[in-house]
Structure 1
Amino acid sequence: MSNDWKTNYHRWVSFAALDTEMKDHLKSIQKDEGALEDCFYKGIEFGTGGMRGEMGPGINRINVYTVRKASEGLARYMSELGTEAKESGVVIIYDTRHKSREFAFEAAKVLGKHGIRVYVFDILCPTPLLSFAVRQLGASAGIVITASHNPPEYNGYKVYGPDGAQITLATAQQLMAKIDEVDDELLVSCEDVSVLKKKGLLKMVGTELMEVYLEQIKNLRVLSNRFSSAADPIRIVFTPLHGTTLKAITQGLNSFGYRYVTVVPEQANPDPDFSAVASPNPEEHQAFELSIQYAKEVDADLIMGTAPDGDRLGAAVKMQDGEFEKTKEFSFQFGYEESNGYLLGDFVRDKNVVQAALIMADVCAFHKARGKTVYDALLELFETYGFHEEGLHSLTFKGKEGIHKIGNIMTLFRSRPLMEVAGKKVIAIEDYLAGTRKDMQTGAVVPLALPTSNVIKVHMEADSWFCVRPSGTEPKLKIYFGVKGDSMKDGQQMLALLKQFVLSYIETA
């Protein structure tokens, strides 16, 4: 495959069998050289998180041809593992986005062409069910077609290993090598679905695995169900944000004994355009605007919203003034990530929103039985450990020029290391690309025992810090902030000053 965008473009437009939609799209932008270059100047990247990007024509977009190419690479990788891996097969699920179901079957058709058994879900189901199904069916791999919480124009392709977890860096590198061997994504061959079914290479999977999955979650309950059936039971507002979790979570809440559950009707049905929500990202407050309206009407104790693919949970609880505040951290011991992904138990090996939602309901019920809210419990933690405030700010830089801009910003932090930030001395700077931590007072440099990544973290005195990294799934630079104050007001003021300083510094790049 050429690195010259014009060569790649002409290869596509001269391909007689090019998909009609792709052909029409290219025709509509044929005079926009900038748009064409962005579609063809490089192949869409495939990493440990798979590939994710805008849909459309070109090698730098998610489309039927790039999906086939990724699947061809996976098929070649599995073929080298041997007959047992091919017979164990691949499980495929998909979310509610445009073309997700189509892409799922395109992947199945390519894998099936290589004699690899494929299981495709015939129902919408959340991402954690893929991890569960891979282990339950003894499959060699899993694929989920999703772009999680990204805007409607995005989609993606993520690969899981036989343990039900996202593939490791070593596996990803082997898989990427096989994908890179595919010279022309337009010429990847695939088999007809009816032929695969006749050969027994394609099996549709239904609700039976969902039932087993929900039964497993019941075993995670730390509390008895006496709180869910108390004299003053909790009232819950839930929104799947037009995604895949409606059935799993409402059915799960019911099995846990929660009867007062209001589903946001405008956001209940699958909708690839996310028509009734400003953002389908449960990390962001605007995702809860409609939920909060319903919560005030029913005097809800808890609001929960999930990412469309069902891997992340956002929660909001009533504060003392009757307003709702979004929370991220729970008082349980379990695995979690900054962007609202949580995991309990080991029968799923990835972020599990269904588990988190059901146990969060138990957390809320437990504290209500104590005469407290979840927000009260959060304040108790702050009083004990300090008033920690964290924030995230994303800067969007699209296209080829955007990549250069992000690169310039990262170079700025490396070439002009800060010694003081918002009135606080810098203690150390960690550069995960170089794999080093530098003490800014002594100049001593020590290695970091973490994987290489294009990330810089700056530590200041008084437990303050910020971290800068390019997003691996969107054309964004993400800046994370953290402070520790003596009070909530103090922490919020410190956070605001830190954000202002860092964003102003970035503007000098």
Structure 2
Amino acid sequence: MDYQQAVNKWLAFETLEPELKEQLSEMAQDEKLLEDAFYKDLEFGTGGMRGEIGAGTNRMNTYTVRKASQGVADYIKAAGPQAMNRGIVIAYDSRRKSPEFTQEAASTFARNGIQAYVYEAPRTTPQLSFSVRELDAFMGIVVTASHNPPEYNGYKVYGEDGAQLNLEAAEAVIAYVQQVGDELAVEAGNYNELVQLGMIQVVGRELDEAYLELVESVQHHPKLAGKENLSVVFSPLHGASGSTVRELMTRAGYTNFSYVEEQMEPNGEFPTLKSPNPEETGAFELAMKQGKETAADLLITADPDGDRVGVAVKQGDEYVLLTGNQTGAILIEYLLIQLKEKGNMPANGRVIKTIVTSDLGRIIAEYHGASTEDVLTGFKFIGEKIKQYNETNEYQFLFGYEESYGYLIKSFARDKDAIQTVLAVTEAAAYYKLQGKTLLDVLHDLFERHGYYFEGLVSVTKKGADGARSIKALMNNIRQQPLSEIAGIAISSQEDYLAQSRTFIDGRKDEKLILPQADVLKYLLADGSWVCVRPSGTEPKIKYYIAVMGLTKEESMTKLEDIKTQFTSAMDMRFEA
């Protein structure tokens, strides 16, 4: 079916929601807009689906949510009556249509005879992950688009271990979703009736309490002296984490912990922000203003679904934003020191990070006697490793993280957890303040000890059908016409995760990569730097990750800027070719 046929099918659907019918009418004069909305089905991938909200098969709306939910329901039914009785937990964040999409999903599951548990108000992604395990549910879903702009929403799927579905399970679910076929033909369930029948159970406070008790166990020094001397400003960026963090930090005894009240209430319009992304300086604008007024030591922001964290540290009269890699390095240093000092450092302790995350974390972990393992980008792969090592006891999980501001300290959740991280970062800052140090001082000490590891990220946005084709063409181009150098530095080896091979430029025999297939290319340079190219799985972007190491700050900064500028320029030329 071409996109025009799909458009006609929707136009002819008599019971189409009035809001979507009106949008279709408005789109009728814009052929490009219609094509993008209907040229394909919204992709249900290995992590679920994410897209712009609106009319169309390539959009997040009631019908695409029903279709996805019917596919997941068919997967659960195929697993048998026990899986159906264990059921599925659904949480949602502050985004547009999140409550409505949640009710549609829950109604679809319940109508299929699957027990559904639904949070009565916004909750974080890590709490959903925890809840799947706490309720012994068979699966979980969180309705969120993380840090995307307001016009987006999404649907992430979790397995019974509380982690996002592993590749094998995800492929099976994808097949079931594809078999559903016509999204307009999926029957709606009656939410209120299904609640009355008990097939949908509304959950909340009891699970909040169980989760908070476990988060409190992240502390190494619950009775740390001088907590009141550390001043912190926190913002959930209009997301789901505000009330949870407020209660947690009160319980933990951090009395000088304040909040950006204008951003505390969940609001999917994100009215005070250009972007609800803790990676961006703009997300800290109000926190910085408040921090300067109160002379706060630390600023912390969390993204809308409460799984990622940004940190800024006071330096003089200004604030310096830490990168995701830098926060991860500081946390590894702090957590492993605490384990060693208390005699709790396991002989088989392991830190897990992604292939695009800084090598500084590996160096710090090894310095303290822990091993490190790389996995593909995506926290599901960290969750998968936690499950594996819990079963085999080969390694003991110590910490998991990725450069995109996601961290996990204790594995009662199996996805990155901003709530745990807020408490851990605050405790680390209070601990080091007693020694007369800021977190920036700690980072500088790490650089002096191990070398100046600097990283950069370039994201190139290519929207719509043309953009998707353009990104695919670029990846094909650089595979067919391989690079031999980057910014004048020779490439020593290339890792192609689609071909699952490592190729050495000096003629050594190729090696097989043991990680799963992924459309990722990584170039290791002769001076120890590396560049990784990866299309985003959740946004219409292609990303260039760059990492360098030098003996001085100046050497690393210069090298990073040279590689970033010249590599981006070279890729732009290939886009135009």
Task: Measure, in 2, the Cα distance between the counterparts of 1:420 and 1:122.
Answer: 54
Matched, 1:127 2:125: yes
Structure 2 SS opposite 1:92: strand
- 1:294 aligned residue: 290
Task: Measure, in 2, the Cα distance between the counterparts of 1:325 and 1:33.
Answer: 43
Task: Measure, in 2, the Cα distance between the counterparts of 1:406 and 1:283.
Answer: 23
For residue 206 of structure 2, the aligned residue among 198, 205, 208 is 208
After TM superposition, give the deviation of residue 212 of structure 1 in Å: 1.2
Moved more, 234-243 or 485-494: 485-494
Task: Measure, in 2, the Cα distance between the counterparts of 1:374 and 1:325.
Answer: 11
After TM superposition, give the deviation of residue 320 of structure 1 in Å: 5.5
1:319–1:325 CA contact under 8 A, matched in 2? no
- 1:319 aligned residue: 315
The one-letter code matched in structure 2 to 1:221 is Q
Structure 1 SS opposite 2:180: coil
Task: Measure, in 1, the Cα distance between the counterparts of 2:37 and 2:148.
Answer: 19
The within-5 A match list for 1:223-234 is 223-229=221-227, 233-234=229-230
The one-letter code matched in structure 1 to 2:506 is Q
The one-letter code matched in structure 2 to 1:43 is D
Task: Measure, in 2, the Cα distance between the counterparts of 1:411 and 1:321.
Answer: 48
CA RMSD of aligned residues (A): 1.3
Which string of whole-angstrom CA distances, capped at 9 and with x for unpartnered residues, describes residues 180-217 of structure 1?
A: 11121001013212221222101110212111111111
For residue 421 of structure 2, the aligned residue among 346, 356, 361 is 356
Task: Measure, in 1, the Cα distance between the counterparts of 2:540 and 2:87.
Answer: 34
- 2:50 aligned residue: 52
- 1:454 aligned residue: 519
Which string of whole-angstrom CA distances, capped at 9 and with x for unpartnered residues, describes residues 383-440 of structure 1?
A: 1111011011111101111011111221222122221211211111111111111111
Task: Measure, in 1, the Cα distance between the counterparts of 2:514 and 2:150.
Answer: 37
After TM superposition, give the deviation of residue 60 of structure 1 in Å: 0.7
- 1:256 aligned residue: 252
Matched, 1:243 2:239: yes
Task: Measure, in 2, the Cα distance between the counterparts of 1:448 and 1:320.
Answer: 47
Structure 2 SS opposite 1:315: strand
After TM superposition, give the deviation of residue 65 of structure 1 in Å: 0.4
Structure-1-length-normalised TM-score: 0.97
- 2:489 aligned residue: 424
Structure 2 SS opposite 1:507: helix
Task: Measure, in 2, the Cα distance between the counterparts of 1:373 and 1:480.
Answer: 28
Structure 2 SS opposite 1:223: coil
1:64–1:103 CA contact under 8 A, matched in 2? yes
The within-5 A match list for 1:53-452 is 53-229=51-227, 233-319=229-315, 322-328=318-324, 329=328, 330=331, 331=333, 332=335, 333-442=398-507, 444-452=509-517
Task: Measure, in 2, the Cα distance between the counterparts of 1:37 and 1:217.
Answer: 46
2:226–2:434 CA contact under 8 A, matched in 1? no
Which string of whole-angstrom CA distances, capped at 9 and with x for unpartnered residues, describes residues 93-143 of structure 1?
A: 111000000000000111111111111100221111111111111111111
Change (3 A) 1:85 1:146: same
1:317–1:326 CA contact under 8 A, matched in 2? yes
Task: Measure, in 2, the Cα distance between the counterparts of 1:103 and 1:325.
Answer: 35
After TM superposition, give the deviation of residue 15 of structure 1 in Å: 0.5
After TM superposition, give the deviation of residue 321 of structure 1 in Å: 6.7
The one-letter code matched in structure 1 to 2:304 is P
Structure 2 SS opposite 1:508: helix
Task: Measure, in 1, the Cα distance between the counterparts of 2:547 and 2:284.
Answer: 23
Moved more, 55-64 or 220-229: 220-229
Query: Which 4+ runs in 1 deviate beyond 4 A?
Result: none
2:145–2:154 CA contact under 8 A, matched in 1? yes
Task: Measure, in 1, the Cα distance between the counterparts of 2:566 and 2:508.
Answer: 24
Structure 1 SS opposite 2:544: strand
Task: Measure, in 1, the Cα distance between the counterparts of 2:251 and 2:234.
Answer: 15
After TM superposition, give the deviation of residue 265 of structure 1 in Å: 2.1
Task: Measure, in 2, the Cα distance between the counterparts of 1:315 and 1:443.
Answer: 43
Task: Measure, in 2, the Cα distance between the counterparts of 1:285 and 1:438.
Answer: 38
The one-letter code matched in structure 1 to 2:280 is E
Task: Measure, in 2, the Cα distance between the counterparts of 1:320 and 1:74.
Answer: 53
Structure 2 SS opposite 1:408: helix
Moved more, 383-392 or 284-293: 284-293
1:457–1:468 CA contact under 8 A, matched in 2? yes
Structure 1 residue runs without a partner (length 5+): none
2:323–2:405 CA contact under 8 A, matched in 1? no
- 1:30 aligned residue: 28
The one-letter code matched in structure 2 to 1:485 is G
Structure 2 SS opposite 1:481: strand
After TM superposition, give the deviation of residue 441 of structure 1 in Å: 2.0
After TM superposition, give the deviation of residue 225 of structure 1 in Å: 2.1
Structure-2-length-normalised TM-score: 0.86
Structure 2 SS opposite 1:24: helix
Structure 2 residue runs without a partner (length 5+): 336-397
Change (3 A) 1:375 1:21: same
The one-letter code matched in structure 1 to 2:154 is G
- 1:505 aligned residue: 570
1:267–1:277 CA contact under 8 A, matched in 2? no
The one-letter code matched in structure 2 to 1:169 is L
Task: Measure, in 1, the Cα distance between the counterparts of 2:239 and 2:192.
Answer: 29
- 2:395 aligned residue: none
Task: Measure, in 2, the Cα distance between the counterparts of 1:194 and 1:311.
Answer: 30
Task: Measure, in 1, the Cα distance between the counterparts of 2:299 and 2:318.
Answer: 13
2:460–2:543 CA contact under 8 A, matched in 1? yes
The one-letter code matched in structure 2 to 1:242 is H
Task: Measure, in 2, the Cα distance between the counterparts of 1:224 and 1:327.
Answer: 27
1:397–1:405 CA contact under 8 A, matched in 2? yes
Change (3 A) 1:321 1:267: closer
- 1:492 aligned residue: 557
Task: Measure, in 1, the Cα distance between the counterparts of 2:192 and 2:33.
Answer: 38
The one-letter code matched in structure 1 to 2:109 is L
Structure 2 SS opposite 1:86: helix
Structure 2 SS opposite 1:390: strand
